[in-house]
Amino acid sequence: MLCAILIQPKARMQPPIGLPRPLSAPNPHRLPSTVARDDEHLLVAAAKRGDAQAFEELVNRYEAKIFRLTMNITRNREDAEDAMQDAFLKSYAHLKDFQEDSRFYTWLVRIAANEALMRLRKRRPNQFSLDEPVEGDEDLMPRELEDWGPSPEQRFAQTEMHEILSEVIDKLEPDFRVVFVLRDVEELSTEETAKVLGISVPAVKSRLLRARLKLRQKLNRYFRQGGTN
Applying CB under 8 A, which residues contact other proteins?
5, 7-10, 12, 23-24, 26-30, 50, 52, 55-56, 59, 63-65, 67-68, 81, 84-85, 88-89, 92-93, 137, 140-142, 145, 147-148, 152-153, 161, 165, 169, 180, 184-185, 187, 205, 208-209, 212-213, 215-216, 219-220, 223
Q: How far is the CB of 58 from other proteins (least distance, A)?
A: 11
Burial class (CB in 10 A: 0-12, 13-18, 19+), 108: buried
What's the rounded Cα separation, in Å, for the pair 56 and 79? 22
Please state the length of the chain: 229
State the minimum distance, in angstroms, from the CB of residue 39 to other proteins: 20
3-state secondary structure 139-177: HCCCCCCCCCCCCHHHHCCHHHHHHHHHHHHHCCCHHHH
Shortest separation between residue 125's beta carbon and other proteins, angstroms: 26
Let me know if 29 is exposed, middle or buried by CB neighbors in 10 A (0-12, 13-18, 19+). exposed
**Smallest gap from residue 62 Cβ to other proteins (A):** 9
Of residues 24 and 126, the one with the C-beta less far from other proteins: 24
**3-class DSSP string for 24-51:** CCCCCCCCCCCCCCCCHHHHHHHHHCCC
Q: How many Cβ atoms from other residues are within 10 Å of residue 177's Cβ?
A: 23
Cβ distance to other proteins smaller for residue 175 or 187: 187
Question: Could you tell me the smallest distance in angstroms from the CB atom of residue 65 to other proteins?
Answer: 5
> Is the Cβ of residue 110 or residue 210 nearer to other proteins in the bound state?
210
Least CB distance from residue 104 to other proteins, whole Å?
A: 16
Closest to other proteins by CB, 30 vs 122, is 30
Cα 216 from Cα 213, distance rounded (Å): 5
Closer CB to other proteins, 84 or 116, in the complex: 84
Whichever of 44 and 169 has its CB closer to other proteins, that residue is: 169
Give the N- to C-terminal CA distance of the chain in Å, as an integer. Answer: 19
